[in-house]
Amino acid sequence: MAFGKRVRTWFDGTWHDGDVPIMRAADHGSWQGSSVFDGARRFEGLTPDLDRHCARLNRSAEALMLKPTASVERMLELIAEGLEGFAPDDAIYIRPMYWGIHGSELGLVPSREETGFAICLEHVPMYGADKTTTLTRTRFRRPVLEDAVCDAKAGCLYPNNARMLAEAQQKGFGNALVADAMGNVAESATSNVFMVKDGEVFTPIANGTFLSGITRARHIANLAADGQRVHETVLTFEDFRDADEVFLSGNLTKVTPVTAFDDRSYQVGPVTRRVREMYWDWARSAA
């Protein structure tokens, strides 16, 4: 089932209208999970950091022992071509992806001789500034590099995120605040997380258990340019209970204010609003 309402797919050398089949039953990606993707956004005619998302896709492929077959420049060309099939003001989720085709003699290791490649463009509206969420704890944790390919945006990691999110939603919350292997806060089930205390901004240090996101890095850079240092450090769940503001950071929505963590309530504060404002200002100025 498609994520968005309208879909365009680049596969097998051409663009197709609709959600076309791209994997076969015996493809390594189908039954061994060797798939990677990245997600970028087009909104207001802007595609901020699209080149960084494409570059990360190729790094993810290498981490999963796949051979990337499209250069960043080629992906940018294809995506620009595919976006012409939508109205200029349509908000689009941009997802290039790779997957394994062949496997080794025992089937486990993907072959580098051939790699599947597709780009999926889906019409997915942006959330407005008034969209918020709530957080709760989950019994599931982020893995470490010794257990899983935490250094890749790999499809095989997402069932763990999905059960975090499902547990949180079953408890009546919008998302989960997730621990790393040591029991400290890593991120949410879907996005990186920031907190504000006494006007200072904090975010969990990138310790290899989660992807340090491209949008996360952009917020840190924007805040630095605004004279606000972000403290990347070890943070506990009690730190978040004691925070003045909390917000999520991810490609899909850029900034999502958090209004509650279990029984702790927050206001949508001035720093959260400023981070969102700075992101849009930067995206427009970088166009």
Segment 121-156, tens digit of pLDDT? 999 999 888 999 999 999 999 999 999 999 999 999
Segment 62-110, tens digit of pLDDT? 999 999 999 999 999 999 999 999 999 999 999 999 999 999 878 899 9
Q: Specify the 3-state DSSP secondary structure of 58.
A: helix
pLDDT of res. 120: 98
Domains in the chain: boundaries? 7-123, 133-286
Residue from 100, 111, 96 nearest 32 by CA:
100
**CATH class of the domain defined by 7-123:** alpha beta
Residues of the chain with pLDDT under 50: none
DSSP letters, 104-118, are: -TTS-SBPSS-EEEE
Q: Which two tokens stand for residue 38?
A: 């990245």
Residue from 55, 145, 64, 54 nearest 112 by CA:
64
Q: Which two tokens stand for residue 286?
A: 């970088």
**CATH class of the domain defined by 133-286:** alpha beta
How does strand 256-261 pair with strand 133-141?
parallel
